[in-house]
Amino acid sequence: MKILATIAALCLVGGTAATQQRERVFPFEYQTVRLDNGFTAYLIKAGAPGQIAYYSIVRTGSRDEVEEGKSGFAHFFEHMMFRGTEKYPNYDAITSAMGADRNGFTSSDMTVYYLVTASEYLEQLIDLEADRFQNLRYSEPDFRTEAGAVLGEKMQSIMSPFNYLYERLSELAFDKHTYRHTTIGFERDVRAMPEGYEYSKSFYRRFYRPENVVLVLVGDFDHAEAERLLRAHYGSWQPGYVTPDIPVEPPQQGERRETITYPGRTLPTLTLNYKAPAWSATDRSAVALEVLGDLAFGSTSPLYQQLVIDERIVQGLGGFFELQRDPALATVYAAVLEEANVPRVEQLIAETIAAAKTQLPDAQRLADTKRARRYGFLMGLETAGSVASATISFVVNTGGIEAIDDYYTTLEALTPEDIRDAARRYLMNEAKTVMTMMQATGGDQ
Amino acid sequence: MTRFMMVLAAAAWGSTATAQTDRLITLPEPESPFIAFNIWVQVGSQNDPEGKEGLASLTANLLSDGSTTTLDYQTILARLYPMAAGYGANVDKEMTVFTGRVHRDNLDEYYGLFRDALLHPAFREEDFNRVKTQTLAFLERSRRYSRDEELSKDVLFWAAYRGTRYQHPSEGYVESVRDITLDDVRAFYTKHYLRNGLVVAVGGGYPTGFPAKVRGEFDALPQGAVARVPAPEPAMPDGIKVIIVEKPADAAPISIGAPTPVLRGGPDYWAMVAAASWFGEHRNSFSRLYQVIREARGMNYGDYAYIEAFPRGYTTQQPPVNIARRSHLFEIWIRPISRTSPTDLHDRTLFATRAALREFNALVRNGMTADAVEATKRFLHNYSVKYGSTISRRLAYAVDDAFYRLPAPGYLASLRPGIGALDRQQVNAAIGRQLQTDNLWLVFVTSDAEGLKQKLLSGAPTPITYAGEKPASLLAEDIEIAAYPIPVDASDITIIPVDEIFERR
């Protein structure tokens, strides 16, 4: 707990910094270890005494699934990473004996493996993790069995209205880029996974390489000893990362529009989606676009007040403008209570976007949004695991955590003009995709 | 790990002997930059009037998502926004908690908003309509359609507690929520939000004297405490009772359970924690059920078991807090079993059910081996540290300790020594006392309910096939699993169409 005390003091500095001064938002001391093979580790002192969080971040996700019929494979491969090696054939038993909280997760841009456990296991963990990233081994029958578990994972959330909408929206909005498919993958591809054993081995060879993996190790441990162990266990890992040939999405020429039917009951859901730029810590227009999502459609926006609070014709409204490693979508979302109101809600959203291109946002609300984002980051820094989690998106987008302070420096410098210019630049009607989801039995109850 | 945990005192549930100054729980962690709140109101869905099921929940949600007498809701949102902080309510059978966490830079402004939400609600018609509409959208749509595995759990608890005050889901039924008026909410608040029925818990890096100030301000509530509701006495099902919720689906979740007298603080409690961990640790490959159904056979995403209610388990890997109850079920959760061909869904669903029942029978009949007990003790020794990983969770556990009247040092600090002291004999004796396999509820959510019913009644084996080669030992075991008996007749099986679930009492 002692280490966390620095957060409060540094936060105050962050709140008053001049626009030219580099923000110091990330409050913890850290050390960077870079090996000759390209492997990078960040060693961070934070969290409770006696605990460590070991986060291996692979900068590969469903974005890297360029081959036809292989959607969902990065996630499937995450499952295989728990199947053991020649040296340690039973990964589960070893980590269970440590009482480790361990798991993995995959998204479009990343695959992350984590363990949180007692500091006394540091040496064993480094040995175990370095081994599975270099020497993973599994049989084809085991591979086929695990494919069944992945199908189960796909099916347990297949009726989530969000998932149902998002899978179809991605396919409509993208022509070439792999953001066209979701991380869990199309059901047809998931059902075909048992046949992909050879492909899985090539996946490991191409992407599980030291240049593509970053370790964020947070907690209570001796940094010099950790560095020595990391060099000893990861130093012999052979480089060989093969950069995937991810198709570039061509500029969208003209609006796209589709209404889909959800095979159950859900509120009519309207989404307006614009082609956004890639994430950047230093590009003011990119950061400004993220802020615009909160300003225009967040819970303190005038439109939220009108539709959710005053008129109560919308149950949920939001602007999800968080950017990704490659250009993705900036999405405005509205769950509308009655189907008849969908056209009017769309009209009001469109008017809000048009106004954002011509009018400057309120300076106080912009200041509040900057503060909310900074405190949102700080509020997440409570445990070793949550500190490691807070660094993930920065590692995925840039390969390191140095961009945290760059990002908040850019954020602090934003002006109302930056917000307006971002709206003009990115929220273009000719690159808009409108998808509406209705329920089969009609939207009104 | 050192924890600066100090429970000054805690209200005994429903006790009138508790002094006013005793209704305060503090967890000082002076170096933490965060302050956490947990305001426990000793009222829950068991206090809902008949025909107004969902009233406790709607009341709490209106307080946390509504205007106060001094600020409208939108202004409250605008003031919370720059702090990246908020507060929320959770209503369970026996308790309502309002929780929040803030950075200490923002404590004063945040606390004022939080306090006024609970002590000075405006009860505006427009806020009420908004919150009620949201609740109805959840009841009519999300609960029935968005996640079948959560629905199967809700139906299990509804069936197991029929005829008791625990029967209805805390959110209520569609018809009962439609019937709730703003006057009902006002009256519920007036009757149940009382000085002696509310415990203030504050933790983290707060300034000296702050918890006492908070307690003093909450003492502005009217004198009195909520009348004690008798503990539920759920009837044990007479044999195997099956409920099939019918809806279009390509995968079927399964919930299995029955009442158990195990409670925190009871003599068998730590032994049953160990047994449930080994048999089905939540979302962990340590689980025996997981090893049998998912790891070895790849039938689904996971398979777990519980001795305490674990709602919304799909959202978290940590045990829930503030779901303290005087009655629990022993529960098995089989995540959706997928079809692998157009016609094999029921066979696979019943195979997984039989595998779980067979494993459960082996646990009850044979107990755990000495190796399994020792492995579980090793596993839980460190794994359980995460249960109290944040100040909000540590505070919530302290509130639950007060509910269960656990003596100091409380649940989190007692877990390691409690588990560490177990031996095989204790664990197996507890399993023998607390678990049985003859009387169980079985809940399925699936398509073609009649087809599943007939397959169950036929007693015919339900073998499965695999996409890859399997060892001979596993295939031999499969023959036993596929024919494992589920003794039911037609009167034991009830089919309910999904659109009728939780429509009315």
- Give the residue numbers spanning the domain of A272: 256-439
Q: Does residue B242 have a pLDDT over 50?
A: yes
Q: Does residue B462 have a pLDDT over 80?
A: yes
Residue B360 pLDDT: 98
Domain-located, residue A314: yes
Which positions in chain A touch B298 (Cβ < 8 Å)? 144-149, 152
pLDDT digits (tens, 9 = 90+) for B268-290: 999 999 999 999 999 999 999 99
Task: Calculate mean pLDDT across residues B389-408.
Answer: 96
Contact predicate B383/A100, CB 8 Å: yes
Q: Does residue B10 have a pLDDT over 90?
A: no
Residue that is last in its domain, among A175, A201, A234: A234
Task: Calculate mean pLDDT across residues A355-369.
Answer: 97
Block residue for tokens 């082996």: B362
User: By three-state DSSP, how is residue B1 classified?
Assistant: coil
| Contact criterion met (CB < 8 Å) for B382 and A160 | no
Which positions in chain B touch A373 (Cβ < 8 Å)? 84
Is the Cβ of A375 closer than 8 Å to some Cβ of chain B?
yes
Answer yes or no: do B175 and B290 share one domain.
Answer: no
Answer yes or no: do A377 and A419 share one domain.
Answer: yes
Residue A440 pLDDT class (50, 70, 90 cuts)? confident
Q: Of B28, B35, B4, which Cα lies nearest the Cα of B100? A: B35
Q: Does residue A217 have a pLDDT over 50?
A: yes
Answer yes or no: do A50 and A184 share one domain.
Answer: yes
Answer yes or no: do B250 and B206 share one domain.
Answer: no
Report the complex ipTM. Answer: 0.91
User: By three-state DSSP, how is residue A401 classified?
Assistant: coil
Residue A4 pLDDT class (50, 70, 90 cuts)? very low
Neighbours of B220 (CB within 10 A): 10
Q: Tokens at residue A369, please?
A: 């949004």
More confident residue, A21 or A362: A362
Domain-located, residue B59: yes
User: By three-state DSSP, how is residue B491 classified?
Assistant: helix
Domain-located, residue A244: no
Domain CATH for A137: 3.30.830.10
| Contact criterion met (CB < 8 Å) for B383 and A101 | yes
Q: Tokens at residue A401, please?
A: 């955590």
Residue B13 pLDDT: 27
Task: Calculate mean pLDDT across residues B123-148.
Answer: 94
User: By three-state DSSP, how is residue B253 classified?
Assistant: strand
Residue A24 pLDDT class (50, 70, 90 cuts)? confident
Answer yes or no: do B289 and B208 share one domain.
Answer: no
Pairing of strands A256-262, A432-439: parallel
Answer yes or no: do B332 and B393 share one domain.
Answer: yes
Tell me the C-alpha distance between A148 and B429, whole Å. 37
pLDDT digits (tens, 9 = 90+) for A331-341: 999 999 999 99
pLDDT digits (tens, 9 = 90+) for B336-378: 999 999 999 999 999 999 999 999 999 999 999 999 999 999 9
Q: Helix %, strand %, coil % for chain B, to 5? A: 45, 15, 40
Q: Does residue A22 have a pLDDT over 50?
A: yes
Closest Cβ–Cβ partner in A92, A155, A376 for B84? A376
Q: Does residue B396 have a pLDDT over 50?
A: yes
Which positions in chain A touch B284 (Cβ < 8 Å)? 96
Domain-located, residue A310: yes
Answer yes or no: do A213 and A262 share one domain.
Answer: no
Closest Cβ–Cβ partner in B33, B73, B251 for A5? B33
Q: Does residue A7 have a pLDDT over 70?
A: no
Pairing of strands A432-439, A269-275: antiparallel
Answer yes or no: do A214 and A350 share one domain.
Answer: no
The set of residues, in sequence order, having a beta carbon less than 8 Å from that of A265 and lying 6+ positions away, is: A439, A441, B140, B141, B144, B145
| Contact criterion met (CB < 8 Å) for B146 and A51 | no
Tell me the C-alpha distance between B58 and B60, whole Å. 6
Answer yes or no: do A399 and A433 share one domain.
Answer: yes
Task: Calculate mean pLDDT across residues A307-311.
Answer: 95
Is the Cβ of A301 closer than 8 Å to some Cβ of chain B?
no
Q: Does residue B39 have a pLDDT over 50?
A: yes
Answer yes or no: do B267 and B213 share one domain.
Answer: no
Answer yes or no: do B213 and B248 share one domain.
Answer: no
Task: Calculate mean pLDDT across residues B68-83.
Answer: 97
Residue A442 pLDDT: 47
Residue A340 pLDDT: 96
Residue A156 pLDDT: 83
Task: Calculate mean pLDDT across residues A102-118.
Answer: 97
Residue positions counted in chain A = 445
Q: Does residue B484 have a pLDDT over 90?
A: yes
Answer yes or no: do B258 and B342 share one domain.
Answer: yes
Domain-located, residue B234: no
Which DSSP string do the residues of B75-134 spell out, in sequence order?
HHHHHHGGGT--EEEEE-SS-EEEEEEEEGGGHHHHHHHHHHHHHSB---HHHHHHHHHH
Tell me the C-alpha distance between B286 and B277, whole Å. 8
Q: How far is CA B449 from CA A143, A324, B245, B452, in A?
A: 33, 44, 7, 5
Answer yes or no: do A51 and A166 share one domain.
Answer: yes
Residue B6 pLDDT class (50, 70, 90 cuts)? very low
Q: How far is CA B92 from CA B58, B169, B176, B186, B325, in A?
A: 12, 8, 17, 19, 8
Domain-located, residue B448: yes
Answer yes or no: do B97 and B136 share one domain.
Answer: yes
For residue A47, give the chain B residue with the closest CA.
B389
pLDDT digits (tens, 9 = 90+) for A131-172: 999 999 999 999 999 999 999 999 888 888 999 999 999 999
Domain-located, residue A395: yes
Neighbours of A118 (CB within 10 A): 18
Answer yes or no: do A116 and A161 share one domain.
Answer: yes
Domain-located, residue B230: no
Block residue for tokens 């189907």: A339
Answer yes or no: do A115 and A185 share one domain.
Answer: yes
| Contact criterion met (CB < 8 Å) for B130 and A160 | no
Domain-located, residue A289: yes
| Contact criterion met (CB < 8 Å) for B31 and A1 | yes
Residue that is last in its domain, among A199, A234, A269: A234
Residue B11 pLDDT class (50, 70, 90 cuts)? very low
Answer yes or no: do A200 and A101 share one domain.
Answer: yes
Residue B16 pLDDT: 26
Which positions in chain B touch A265 (Cβ < 8 Å)? 140-141, 144-145
Residue A23 pLDDT: 76
Domain-located, residue A5: no
| DSSP state at residue B236 | P
Residue B151 pLDDT: 96
Domain-located, residue A223: yes
Answer yes or no: do B203 and B291 share one domain.
Answer: no
Answer yes or no: do B268 and B128 share one domain.
Answer: no
Pairing of strands B240-246, B440-446: parallel
Arithmetic mean of pLDDT over chain B = 94
Domain-located, residue B9: no
> Domains in chain A: how many in total?
2
Burial group, residue B195, by CB count within 10 angstroms (0-12, 13-18, 19+): middle
Q: Does residue B486 have a pLDDT over 50?
A: yes
Domain CATH for B277: 3.30.830.10
Answer yes or no: do A107 and A203 share one domain.
Answer: yes
Q: Does residue A16 have a pLDDT over 60?
A: no
User: By three-state DSSP, how is residue B26 classified?
Assistant: strand
Q: Tokens at residue A86, please?
A: 């020649």
> Domains in chain B: how many in total?
2
Mutate to test the interface with A, among B124, B285, B384, B474 (most CBs of A within 10 A): B285
Q: Please state at what angle helix A73-80 crosses helix A197-207, rounded to 10 degrees.
A: 90
Q: Where are the alpha helices (DSSP H) in B344-462?
A: 345-366, 370-383, 391-404, 410-420, 424-434, 449-458
Answer yes or no: do A144 and A45 share one domain.
Answer: yes
Residue B22 pLDDT: 64
Pairing of strands A269-275, A111-118: unpaired
The set of residues, in sequence order, having a beta carbon less than 8 Å from that of B46 and lying 6+ positions away, is: B93, B94, B165, B166, B229, B232
Is the Cβ of A309 closer than 8 Å to some Cβ of chain B?
yes
Q: Of A291, A266, A420, A258, which Cα lies nearest the Cα of A367? A: A291
Bond prior to B234 in cis (omega within 30° of 0): no
Q: Does residue A12 have a pLDDT over 50?
A: no
Answer yes or no: do B71 and B204 share one domain.
Answer: yes
Task: Calculate mean pLDDT across residues B243-267.
Answer: 96
| Contact criterion met (CB < 8 Å) for A145 and B335 | no
Q: Where are the alpha helices (DSSP H) in A174-222?
A: 187-191, 197-207
- Give the residue numbers spanning the domain of B310: 240-497
Mutate to test the interface with B, among A1, A13, A76, A364 (most CBs of B within 10 A): A1
Query: Phi/psi zone of residue B448: left (φ > 0), alpha (ψ -120 to 50 degrees), beta?
Result: left
Answer yes or no: do A278 and A422 share one domain.
Answer: yes
The set of residues, in sequence order, having a beta carbon less than 8 Å from that of A28 and lying 6+ positions away, is: A3, A6, A44, A45, A46, A381, A387
Task: Calculate mean pLDDT across residues A234-239.
Answer: 98
Rg (CA), chain A: 23
Q: Tokens at residue A225, please?
A: 């000893």
Residue A158 pLDDT: 86
| Contact criterion met (CB < 8 Å) for A99 and B378 | yes
- For chain B, the straight-line distance linking the first and the last C-alpha, in angstroms and rounded, comes to 48
Residue B192 pLDDT: 97
**Share of residues in chain A with pLDDT > 70 (%):** 94
Residue A159 pLDDT: 84
pLDDT digits (tens, 9 = 90+) for B54-64: 999 999 999 99
Domain-located, residue B415: yes
SS (H, E, C) A352-371: HHHHHHHCCCCHHHHHHHHH
**Share of residues in chain B with pLDDT > 90 (%):** 92
Answer yes or no: do B411 and B475 share one domain.
Answer: yes
More confident residue, A100 or B5: A100
Q: Does residue B138 have a pLDDT over 70?
A: yes
Which DSSP string do the residues of A216-250 spell out, in sequence order?
EEEESS-HHHHHHHHHHHHTTPPP------PPPPP
Q: Tokens at residue A379, please?
A: 């509020």
Q: For residue A329, what is the enclosing H or E element?
A: strand A329-336
Q: Please state at what angle helix A342-358 crosses helix A416-426, rounded to 10 degrees.
A: 120
Domain-located, residue A242: no
Residue B468 pLDDT: 87
